[in-house]
Amino acid sequence: MKRKVSFALYFAALALASATFAQQPPQQASRGATVTQEQVNEANIQLMRQDIRAERKKIIAAHMPLTETEATQFWPLYDRYISETIKVNDARYALIKEYAENYQTLTEEQADSFIKRWLPLDGTNTELRLKYIAEFEKVISRKKTALFFQIDRRLGMMIELQLTSQIPLIKP
């Protein structure tokens, strides 16, 4: 229970940090050039995404009972799986950025386009998991594979909840 609470607090802190970053003024780069607010936000978001991936890996490591032999095969496969997941999340992030730039003046067509591009990303995540089931079953048991995907899905849902709670709803 303690891990669940600390994990939830970690993501809540990330959500608060992202709101704080949006309020920071432009900064001076080391050579005197001004760094725009967008560049600061982008850099901070990329750091947060790296932190989330690192925390995610730690949580999976803490909950996956792997033998030494399994671990040597599991972690490289996990890294490949995550690199493909990152591609999907990059598309989601680009869509969120586009939405953030337009949500106050969103047209009917933009709203339609947004939701029609957002929902297939959920399907792409599911397809990716389905694709990797067989791969993971080659290096760990079916039960451990099921456990991994349970943990992965729960973590993904927690991240999604934190993310979507920060996105304003479309105004009809």
Six token digits for residue 161: 């909840």
CB 128 within 8 A of CB 153: no
Residue-by-residue DSSP string for 69-91: HHHHHHHHHHHHHHHHHHHHHHH
Beta strand residue intervals within the chain, DSSP E: 27-28, 34-35
CB 124 within 8 A of CB 88: yes
**pTM over cut 0.85:** no
> Which tens digits make up the pLDDT trace of 86-136?
999 889 888 988 988 888 999 999 999 999 999 999 999 999 999 999 999
